[in-house]
Structure 1
Amino acid sequence: MLCARKLFEAIVLIRGDNGPQPPPGLYEAQELLYARRAELDRLGLVEPEPPPPTTEQLIEKAAAVTAPVVAIEALWDGDTQGWYVCIVAIVRRPGRDHDRYDQVLLTALRHGSDHRLFTGQVPPWPEAQQGTDQGQAVARALGVPFHFTSPDIPDTDLSRWWDTAEADGQGPNSDAPSRTSS
């Protein structure tokens, strides 16, 4: 499983009934499996990461969205492995997080785990730069605005495009700082 980059499935196995007893905690299991995967990687046994989608592929994916696309947004998200940047198409239809707008995921960009923080590899965040570059290109191709509130600092509690004056046409409805560009 580790050779196929299936970390979550490996965690389930190591913490299951057939694993060591008592089972390791989640973080302990994760650290054990990171170390083992690094060893397998040094031996050349781990499948390479699939390449991220090209800008052209993202433009095609965004153009295929059936709801009206009103903006392209890059935003931070995270999981047990670390931070990553999502590029989403904001569409005009009620959604889970807003009564007038929803989002369609175009891609998620991750350039390594949060172990980079401890080794001094980040910041800068290469996935933020890639998200900005590709997001702006997709937005230009569709003729819609691009929005990325915080390309420099990962955070999930920030304003979204739909919180901007451009989204509501009446002025900002959020006190949070916003960085929007076309």
Structure 2
Amino acid sequence: MKFFSEKAEKKKGGVEPAVDGVLLEPSRENFTVSSFLEVIADVGDEEDLYFFQNKAAEKMSLKLAEYVREFSGKESVGLFISFLNFFLERENLGSVNYVKVDLSNKKFVVAIENSAIALALKKKYKKKVCKFYETLLSELFSDLIGVDIKFKEIQCLAEEGQREKICIFEST
């Protein structure tokens, strides 16, 4: 079974689905995203791949803008991070591993675990590939604090030799 992977123990407070006594956990891979990206990578070039990611993130941030504006203000950054994590998990794009916030200097570090982009492209590219998250985080954080913020990926799980399953983005 490729869609389900074996799991050694039950999650706390919940009952896991089981087949023949084997506990199962759904795959983290986003098959729709990976299929699109693999086609673009196969028939296009890196420029096409990054263009597609940027445009998709711009469209998504426009759809999320009205929600993000609800979180504007110092005390709402934590709620926004919870919303961001909920959204990423719901869309099977990954999850927020941690966030470092320095509001006075408008500096942020966001770690995304199980990036759908990096998981889809790590076999073909052994480098930073998550332009989607750079653009999405830039747009969302800019809307949140009302100042132009740009994020750059500083670590990617697709990079050769990378053992951690996180991609780290830092505002510049």
TM-score between both structures, scaled by the size of structure 1: 0.35
Instruction: Give 1 or 2: higher helix fraction.
Output: 2
Give the greater-gyration-radius structure (CA): 1
